Chains A and B, each alone.
Chain A
Amino acid sequence: MNDLKDLSYEIAYAELEQIVRQLEEATLTLDISVTLFERGRLLAAHCQTLLDAAELRVVQIDDPV
């Protein structure tokens, strides 16, 4: 499992959606479901943090010659 902190919003959210889909199918054992749910919870929290703290970054590249 990749370190949560470094995941981009796009990737973290995609993984979160996949977990929700897997859990919805309800074919998993209780054990796995709990693990997935925990991971999902962490991903959701991470996404929320990214959204709340987002600030546009602006850089100017050197004058192209």
Chain B
Amino acid sequence: MDQLPLLFNTPVTYTVTEFSRMIQSVLNDDRLIGATVEGEVSEFKQASSGHYYFTLKDSGAAVRCAMWRSNVQRNGGFTPRVGDHVQARGTIELYAPRGDISFIIDRLKPLGVGDLFRQFELLKAQLIEEGLFDQENKRDLPIFPTRIGVVTSPEAAAFQDVLKVLRRRFPLAAVILSPTLVQGDSAPPAIVRALAALNARDDIQVILICRGGGSIEDLWAFNDERVVRAVAASRIPTITGVGHETDSTLVDFAADMRAATPSNAAEILTPDIETLQISLAQTRRNLQGIASGIVASNRQLLDDSIRSLRRSSPTAVIAEQRQRVDGWGERLENRQEAWLALLHEQLHSAAAVLNAHDPMAPLHKGYALVRHRDTGKMIKTIAGAATGDALTIQLQDGELNARVE
């Protein structure tokens, strides 16, 4: 009776063999049988038996592989090299006695350009859709980049090419190299880290990302999604120079500027010191010329002032004033005479006019001027006076008082 609960609560204990069989049954999942896997070859070994032992990996994981000699032969004898991208078909197997899990491969082929292009096109389309390559997001590169960050391999010829161009064109600059691998499956995360290291600094004006020419597989890291996204997101402006002139990788679209080659990138980035020398010489000449001009014009002003001063000296002024006064005096006399003559004439004319319009002239002829005695108002018609009104009659030699009858 007491045993019953014990039976239900006791955890099962397996033997190793039983456990191994359980693992095996899980590995019998359809997806692990006849599976196709793509990856990079590392740790390749060909045993004396003719079997191939190698590892297939990417940046996240690795799988041990084995290819029996019979399958190698059936596969056409293709022998992968370390670093190759391959496509393998096989089945996961557990070698129970050792507990090793291996991918037993029956078909193996190198990943052709066709497969890579397919991946390239898919990723490119997706990133375009996301707007990562939009022209509006492209920033201008600094005109005077005295501090240039470079992401590349220090041993690569590409780096030496860049330095050569910079020394020739723009020795005023300082180069800050952030070293990285530039091919292989470990390259993408390394490139991303190298880029981040430069972006974390506050003394870099532009970042040049480059590597020399190679096969499409060699350049593949620069098509890697992680690298492309990192370049697009770079805080500091970027310029890429990857491969030869005809090569195009996705980082070229993500960067703010692209160049055909590493050397070309260094050229695009920098002003030519020759041009700077010429500009400086010209500016110095301008400076000299303007200064001479200012002195000359000031000298001219000075001369003019001296001449003015001479003309305005006291002696000169007095003499001139005297001349003026004398001259005026004579003219004044002439004018006075002329005025007198004019006045006389005007008087005569005025007198004539006055005489002609003398209101008293009719009186001399014998006419009388009749007015109301009290108001002085003139009476011109019989209606202007009533019987009994007091009148004054003005004659040429005096007045008479009268009353209307």
Q: Which residues of A contact B (CB under 8 A)?
A: 8-10, 13, 16-17, 19-20, 23-24, 26, 30, 33, 37, 40-41, 44, 47-48, 50-51, 54-61, 63-65
User: Across the two chains, which residue of chain A brings its CB closest to B279?
Assistant: A13
**A18–chain B nearest beta-carbon distance, Å:** 11
Docked pose: A10 CA to B194 CA in angstroms: 28
Q: Are B290 and A23 in contact (CB under 8 A)?
A: yes
Q: Does B361 contact A (CB under 8 A)?
A: no
> Contacts of A57 on B, CB cut-off 8 Å?
173-175
**A30–chain B nearest beta-carbon distance, Å:** 5
Q: Given that A23-B294, A30-B298, A65-B193 are known contacts, is A51 also in contact with B175, CB under 8 Å in the complex?
A: no
Docked pose: A24 CA to B171 CA in angstroms: 32
Q: Which of B56-64, B176-184, B218-226 contacts A (4 or more CB under 8 A)?
A: B176-184
> Contacts of B387 on A, CB cut-off 8 Å?
none
Q: Are B146 and A51 in contact (CB under 8 A)?
A: no
Cβ contacts A to B, 14 pairs, < 8 Å: A13-B279, A20-B286, A23-B287, A24-B286, A26-B294, A40-B287, A44-B280, A44-B287, A50-B172, A51-B276, A55-B171, A56-B175, A57-B173, A64-B194
Q: Given that A26-B294, A65-B193 are known contacts, is A58 also in contact with B163, CB under 8 Å in the complex?
A: yes
Which residue, of B171, B273, B277, has the highest number of chain A Cβ atoms within 10 A?
B171
Q: Pick the contact of B177 from A48, A50, A59 — CB < 8 Å?
A: A59
Docked pose: A65 CA to B235 CA in angstroms: 20
> Contacts of B284 on A, CB cut-off 8 Å?
44, 48
> Contacts of A8 on B, CB cut-off 8 Å?
146
Q: Given that A8-B146, A23-B290, A64-B197 are known contacts, is A51 also in contact with B280, CB under 8 Å in the complex?
A: yes
Which residue, of A17, A23, A50, A65, has the highest number of chain B Cβ atoms within 10 A?
A23
Docked pose: A14 CA to B405 CA in angstroms: 116
Q: Pick the contact of A13 from B194, B198, B280, B286 — CB < 8 Å?
A: B280
Q: Are B290 and A61 in contact (CB under 8 A)?
A: no
Q: Given that A60-B179, A64-B178 are known contacts, is A30 also in contact with B277, CB under 8 Å in the complex?
A: no
Q: Are A10 and B144 in contact (CB under 8 A)?
A: yes
Q: Does B283 contact A (CB under 8 A)?
A: yes
Docked pose: A26 CA to B70 CA in angstroms: 93
> Contacts of A51 on B, CB cut-off 8 Å?
172, 273, 276-277, 280
Q: Which 7 A-B pairs have the closest CB atoms?
A: A64-B197, A54-B171, A57-B174, A60-B177, A23-B290, A64-B193, A58-B175
